[in-house]
A and B are shown apart, each in its own frame.
Chain A
Amino acid sequence: MTRALTVLTAAAMLLPVPAFAAGTTSYGAAQLNYKVLPSVHAQVVPNYASSFGPQGGLGSGSTPAAGSGAVLDGGTVDFGNVVVGYQYLYKYAAQVSVQTNDNAGFVVYAEGATNLNGSNPVPTPSTFPIFQTLYWLVSNTGNTPFTPAQSFLLTAGNPIAGGAGGIDYSGVGGKPSAGSVVWSYPTSGNVSEGFDYQLRLPGMLPTSQFNVYVVYTVIGN
């Protein structure tokens, strides 16, 4: 629950008022109270640094390269071709920028709008769990495909347009689950945080093209 940021300002106003009696002037004081509502603005930029893209696949016999959907400062976090049973790191996958006047700060959540949707060819079943397949970690030059990371969770909310339009949390308490927090910031400001993604592909993953939307939600404290 967000508390409104309340600013109490005392302003003395000395205003001439119509004279009630001829030849007299009355003066009064008024206390002006007003509330500045918290505002939160946020942007997410995929592939936010020039050296973005996948690495890893150690032991698979192939070197990963970003797919055609990945472009600098936009597009898709496109791992390209990856081999079942191996681990990958996608550098500079997404950068979240937040601007808020909320002195109590904010929390950023990130969830999979759906599980991994398979296509081309459509596997059976057509989806594969995002949990413990796609992971996130804060960007760091020392990250590897084996650096400790947190798994993305499947949302309990209602994906809009398959996730392309975000997630509707109105039926699940209005916000994402507590386990999907990726970033907490304790005060107001204009700040950014970058994230790498990891793929840990289990051996039972079917061969197919998989897609998913990761939805970030920023909530003021």
Chain B
Amino acid sequence: MDSFIALDDVSVDFPIYNASGRSLKNQLMHAATGGRISTASGRVVVQALRNVSMRVEHGDRVGIVGHNGAGKTTLLRVLAGVYEPTSGRISVSGKVTALFDIGLGMDPDATGYENIVLRGSLLGMSRKEIQKIANEIGTFTELGEYLAMPMRTYSSGMGLRLAFAISTSVRPDILLLDEYFGVGDERFVEKAQKRLDELVESAGILVFASHSKELIRRLCNRIVIMESGNIVAIE
């Protein structure tokens, strides 16, 4: 079955409990960007998404653009199923993978192999799939024997490469990206780029939030422009 995403009149309200009352509220009201802030029953509520409706079909490459605080990340989190909307309906068909933080769940004290298992499991891979990718990751990252060493002994570039390689081993129907991630050292960039492009191509649907117009133009065939928690235009 083809994957799709359908949002129908979806709103997300954030209660802010630790806001120091009115003064902060006023400050936020005057801010040029960000969602609409209102006070319902005395507490501060940020409307991060307001009555968003859209439909994404199999094969769509959707780029989300907008200022900081326009609701891009909130929208991605709603699509990832992390934030269940305050009102409205969603239905999503297909396996969703969100790659917001490629190192999520990795443990610096664990070895490279253990981290492949940890990160792979969180990404929803079965034990068999993990075994299958482990060798390939060793070759791709050029970490080889280092995989048997604790990750804290790696250079930051090596750690990043490992996180990148595991995270890009997934093959979801729907891929959610919050900014394109770059991977450290120069020699590696090209190889990483290719791998990431492969992942993006294999996904049935891509939803990609970015500030980079150039990247959006390169990767996406539809553009969603967001402002203060609203979708103001779909191209």
* A-B interaction: no
Footprint of A on B, CB under 8 Å?
none
